[in-house]
Homo-oligomer: A and B are copies of this chain.
Amino acid sequence: MSDNDQNDIAEFGQPCPIRDVLNQIGDQWSLLILEALAERTLRFNELNREIGDISRQMLSRTLKRLETDGYVSRTVYAEVPPRVEYTLTPLGRSFLEPMQKLIQWADENHADICRSRRRQHEQQQEQARG
């Protein structure tokens, strides 16, 4: 598999930390999952219902990656029917602290961003007509 050391960068992360982190959690679903798990431990299908519009496919993949990176821990109970619980690790929990600041910023400034988009869009329209 990793017969050479060149693959290590690809497998174990870029040298730039923030780029690596953003690549991992900047996708469609990771943050939503982490926030859902911030409330409480959840099972697979509970997460599925909680998020609503995620497919089991993507939920499974994203959870696996979050687990690989150490944000989430996965516990399997030897029961019938099977039960698997997902919960935040300390790392995942600590990640949400700075992220909350960013979420707050997004909430406060999203309207401005949309306004800017609208304005730029209208200017382009005018230029197109002019």
Residues of A within 8 A of B (CB): 1-2, 11-13, 17-22, 24, 26-28, 31-32, 67-70, 91, 94-95, 97-99, 101-107, 109-110, 112-118, 120-121, 125, 128
Contact = CB atoms under 8 A, between A and B. Distances in A.
Given A94-B105, A95-B109, A116 B13 contact: no
A36 to B, nearest CB: 13
Is the contact region of chain A dominated by helix, strand, or loop, or is it mixed?
helix
Given A22-B31, A70-B113, A91-B116, 14 more contacts: A13-B110, A13-B113, A18-B106, A19-B31, A19-B32, A21-B102, A22-B26, A22-B106, A68-B120, A94-B109, A95-B105, A95-B109, A98-B105, A102-B102
A34 to B, nearest CB: 11
A29 B125 CA distance: 27
Given A22-B31, A109-B94, A117 B17 contact: no
A70 to B, nearest CB: 3
A28 B115 CA distance: 24
| Copies of this protein, total | 2
Given A21-B113, A68-B120, A116-B70, A98 B104 contact: yes
